[in-house]
């Protein structure tokens, strides 16, 4: 692939409205854009999706920059590769730090697809030409949630996800179901409960939720298997699945009936595809999770979600869900509830350099 340079752009953009969970409020998003250029001047892009603080996983923007600068980029520099899949074993010498790895790995996938003049979705084995779009409501009152749900349904979103926790669950969902008895809805707890809350969680079976996401501890597989036996509502795991082996164990133990795949959380597209392939074989539906991301990661998610096992709407929403103006052109749009999978080579979206520069904090270049 003859990579000649890697550039890191640290950017920062305010969200159009704050994103509230019981763990943290995100109102400004920092991120890392990775640009990998080959000897012919072809550029591939990736995005680091760690947050500024370690509330969702242990990684942060700073730890990602450290890993990229001091370990991952030097490894790639010393070990030229000819296929993005080679990065998986190359990066194995470094423990975890999945979001840092995925930032660089996804950029190399985009470059590889562009070198072969193929859409990334095709390179990965994607079959869908459009993907069903869902959206997340992350607010702290039923009245605000109802307003947002109304707006998102108007915009065509096919599934609504709401954030829940012990102070915002039964009453909150009652209000929503009173207004919207039939819409496809699910709830994400981001580990707000423990097994002691089993009766509280059982009560949520009343709401005909598509699934409940990550009710118990962020690193648990065992207790979710105990809980799933008590619930009618399917459990979907997010935080607990950081690798192929986690997915295999969770499915074997019956800890979940659905898996949310996030490219950053599992360390890249290669691992994401392995999890997808395994779930397809085991008839476990998967959907693509979101990280309040900018357009580059959004584009990688679209390519991933074009794979055949992505059968339910995930958290890939339009650029306008979070941003006044995204860093890609065209922006991601949702039409009649669907996002079209692009046909252009690579991720199929151009980087809007003007916008990127407007929100740029720092830039670092590594010449190979």
291 binds ligand OSB per the rule CB under 6 A: yes
Q: Helix (H) and strand (E) counts for the chain? A: 14, 15
Helical packing angle, 142-154 and 170-179, nearest 10° = 40
**Quick check: is 163 catalytic?**
yes
Report DSSP letters for 196-221, one per residue. GGHHHHHHGGGG--S-EE--S-TT-S
220 binds Mg ion per the rule CB under 5 A: no
CA atoms within 13 A on the CB side of 95: 1
- Name which position in 9, 56, 294, 323 contacts ligand OSB (CB under 6 A): 56
- Name which position in 110, 169, 315, 326 contacts ligand OSB (CB under 6 A): 315
Catalytic residue among 35, 161, 163, 273: 163
Task: Give the range of 50-58, 128-136, 206-214, 279-287 binding Mg ion by CB under 5 A.
Answer: 206-214
**Quick check: is 101 catalytic?**
no
60 binds ligand OSB per the rule CB under 6 A: no
65 binds ligand OSB per the rule CB under 6 A: no
Distance in Å, CB of 103 to ligand OSB, minimum:
16
Distance in Å, CB of 239 to ligand OSB, minimum:
7
Indicate the length of the chain as a whole number: 368
Q: Please give the biggest Cα pair distance in the chain.
A: 61
Closer to ligand OSB by Cβ: residue 215 or 290: 290
Long-range contacts formed by 56-61: CB under 8 A, 24+ apart: 56/23, 56/24, 56/190, 56/239, 56/291, 57/98, 57/99, 57/218, 57/239, 57/242, 57/265, 58/96, 59/97, 59/98, 59/99, 59/100, 61/10, 61/30, 61/31, 61/32
Catalytic residue among 35, 161, 262, 273: 262
d(CA 268, CA 250): 20
Closer to ligand OSB by Cβ: residue 97 or 191: 191
Find the binding residues for ligand OSB in span 241-260 (CB under 6 A): none
Task: Give the range of 75-83, 98-106, 245-253, 287-295 binding ligand OSB by CB under 6 A.
Answer: 287-295
- Partner interacting with residue 47 (select from ligand OSB, Mg ion, none; CB below 5-8 Å by kind): none
Contact yes or no for 363/10 (Cβ under 8 A): yes
- Partner interacting with residue 136 (select from Mg ion, ligand OSB, none; CB below 5-8 Å by kind): ligand OSB
Beta carbons within 10 angstroms of residue 70's beta carbon: 9
Contact yes or no for 225/240 (Cβ under 8 A): no
Closer to ligand OSB by Cβ: residue 65 or 136: 136
d(CA 12, CA 291): 14
Per-residue binding letters, 119-138, with ligand OSB (x by CB under 6 A): -----------------x--
Under rule CB under 5 A, how many of the chain's residues touch Mg ion?
A: 3
Find the binding residues for Mg ion in span 166-195 (CB under 5 A): 188
Contact yes or no for 108/316 (Cβ under 8 A): no
Known catalytic residues? 163, 262
- By CB under 6 A, name the binding residues for ligand OSB: 56, 136, 188, 190, 238, 289-293, 315, 317
Residues that bind Mg ion (CB under 5 A): 188, 213, 238
């Amino acid at each position: 692939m003859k990579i000649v340079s890697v550039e890191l752009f640290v950017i920062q953009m305010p969200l159009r409205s704050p994103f509230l969970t019981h763990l943290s409020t995100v109102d400004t998003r920092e991120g890392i854009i990775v640009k990998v250029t080959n000897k012919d001047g072809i550029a591939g892009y990736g995005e680091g999706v760690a947050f500024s603080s370690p509330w969702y996983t242990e990684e942060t923007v700073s730890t990602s920059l450290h890993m990229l600068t001091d370990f991952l980029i030097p490894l790639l520099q010393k070990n030229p590769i000819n296929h993005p899949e080679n990065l998986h074993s190359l990066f194995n010498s470094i423990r975890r730090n999945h979001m840092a790895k995925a930032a660089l790995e996804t950029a190399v996938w985009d470059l590889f697809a562009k070198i072969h003049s193929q859409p990334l979705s095709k390179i990965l084995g994607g079959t869908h030409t459009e993907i069903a779009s869902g959206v997340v409501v992350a607010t702290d009152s039923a009245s605000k949630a109802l307003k947002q749900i109304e707006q998102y349904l108007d915009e065509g979103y096919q599934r609504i996800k709401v954030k829940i926790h012990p102070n915002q669950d039964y009453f909150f969902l009652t209000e929503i179901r009173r207004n919207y008895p039939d819409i496809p809805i699910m709830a994400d707890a981001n580990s707000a409960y423990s097994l002691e809350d089993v009766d509280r969680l059982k009560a949520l079976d009343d709401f005909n939720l598509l699934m409940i996401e990550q009710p118990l501890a962020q690193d648990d597989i065992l207790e979710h298997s105990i809980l799933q036996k008590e619930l009618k509502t399917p459990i979907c795991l997010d935080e607990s699945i950081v690798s192929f082996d986690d997915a295999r164990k969770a499915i074997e133990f019956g800890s979940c009936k659905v898996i949310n795949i996030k490219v950053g959380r599992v360390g890249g597209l290669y691992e994401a595809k392995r999890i997808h392939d395994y779930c397809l074989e085991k008839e476990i539906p998967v959907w693509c999770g979101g990280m309040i991301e900018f357009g580059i990661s959004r584009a990688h998610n679209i390519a991933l979600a074009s794979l055949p096992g992505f059968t339910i709407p995930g958290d890939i929403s339009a650029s306008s869900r979070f941003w006044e103006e995204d860093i890609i052109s065209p922006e991601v749009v949702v039409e009649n509830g669907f996002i079209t999978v692009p046909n252009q080579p690579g991720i199929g979206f151009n980087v809007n350099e003007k916008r990127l520069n407007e929100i740029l904090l720092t830039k670092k270049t590594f010449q190979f």
